[in-house]
Amino acid sequence: QVQLVESGGGSVQPGGSLRLSCAASRYRDSIACMGWFRQAPGKERERVASINRNYIRNYADSVKGRFTIYKDNAKNTLALQMNSLKPEDSAMYYCAADISSLGCGAFNFWGQGTQVTVSS
C-alpha cells in the first residue's frame, strides 16, 4: 500500500505563489502515476495535474501555464508549484497515487488534503 501526506497549503493573496508537497511511502517504478486533485465547496472534484513514471505531465486547462507538477523519485516526493494564484484556485488539494500498470486511470490511494485559500 501507499501512504501519502500533503503539506504546504495556506493562505495567499491573488497573484501569489505556493508550493505543495506530498510524501509517499514508496515511489519510483512501483507507482504508475501520481497526481494532484482539488475540490472546492459545491464543486466537483477536479484533477489539477498528474505525472506518470515516464515524466509525462497533464494539466487541467484552468491551471496550464501557472502550475507545474514535479516528482523526485529519490526522495519519494511529489510537488505542485502554483504561481499567479487566483481566488478560484481556493480548494482542498489532495495528493493521489495510481499503482496500476496502465497509469493515471485509477487513483487508489489518497492523502488527507491540504487547504489552499486565495483571497485579498
Helix (H, G, I), strand (E, B) or coil at 19: strand
Of 85, 86, 72, 78, the C-alpha closest to 36 is 78
pLDDT in tens, 6-52: 999 999 999 999 999 999 986 655 788 999 999 999 999 999 999 99
Whole-number pLDDT of residue 28:
58
Per the model's pLDDT, the better-predicted residue between 63 and 53 turns out to be: 63
Residue 4 has pLDDT above 70, yes or no: yes
Neighbours of 114 (CB within 10 A): 19
Residue 99 has pLDDT above 90, yes or no: no
Work out the widest C-alpha separation in the chain, in whole angstroms: 44
